[in-house]
Amino acid sequence: MKRCAIISLAILLALGFAGEAFAWGRLGHYTIAEIAERHLTPRAKAKIERYTHGTPLSAYAIFMDSVVKKPIYDTAFRGWHASIADADCKSPVEVRNRYRKGRDGVTAMNYWRKELANRQTLSDSTVLCGIKCIVHIVADFHCPAHVRYADCKNDGHQKVTFFGKKTKLHKVWDTALITRAHKGWTPKQYADYLDTWSKGKIKRCTRGDEQAWFESAARDVRPTIAWVGEGDALDDEFVKKALPLAELQMRKAAYRLATALNEIFGE
């Protein structure tokens, strides 16, 4: 009980960091979790199900977004929805501490890896909370709208039109782009479409840890800074460039999420 209290205190530290907008939306988050679950090892899956009681990972995919307005969670999860890189797409702890006070997705993943490595000392509810957060965090730090850079402002707040509808660039990346491209698709259908990489390609993609994964995402996303300006009208030309990148990030997020869970629960 004492350890649980200490953990709760640690994650409930209020650092005054501004909240983040959502990433990927329901379709994107559910699809990433669906693919990840398909790539769990039998050992990891069995251990995870001790805490989830067989609930699919996709059921937790938007957990952090769904509770963001509840004070206890808002404080605990503040800043975890996005991650920061420098101009060279590196994200060492010094950069994360300087620009986000250590409140970012990479640092959050570091935290949960360490805590869940000693899960025998945690309550089942704390372990389940960790699983829910990991499912969400890994997806978030691959979303182009949630990859931030210390040398420029790219939070996606630019006002744009997307096929004539007024919106913000962030909303285009997290929802409008993929739902327009695959109107009416279920997460399972989308997962079937995306989950096509060979074992070798997945192995290469999942090398390293969360910092390496995020830095890879930061390199992928960096060129998009120049793609859109305030007030731009986005149409098929934008979709032609943006959709392949968004779906690349979704694949990487899914395979890396599975790898993280396999490493934590498959030992």
Residues whose CB is less than 8 angstroms from the CB of residue 50 and which lie 6 or more positions away in sequence, other chains included: 124
pLDDT at residue 257 greater than cutoff 50: yes
CA torsion sign for 235, 139, 229, 223 is negative
* Residue with the larger pLDDT of the pair 7 and 49: 49
More confident residue, 16 or 222: 222
CA 128, CA 264: separation in Å to the nearest integer? 13
Computed over every residue of the chain, the mean pLDDT equals: 90
Q: Is the pLDDT of residue 3 over 80?
A: no
What is the helix (H) or strand (E) element at residue 149, kind and residue range? Answer: strand 147-149
Is 90 exceeded by the pLDDT of residue 23? no
pLDDT at 22 (0 to 100): 62
Domains in the chain and their CATH numbers? 9-265 (1.10.575.10)
Place of tokens 């327009």: 180
Q: At residue 103, does pLDDT exceed 90? A: yes
**Radius of gyration over every alpha carbon of the chain, rounded to an integer in angstroms:** 18
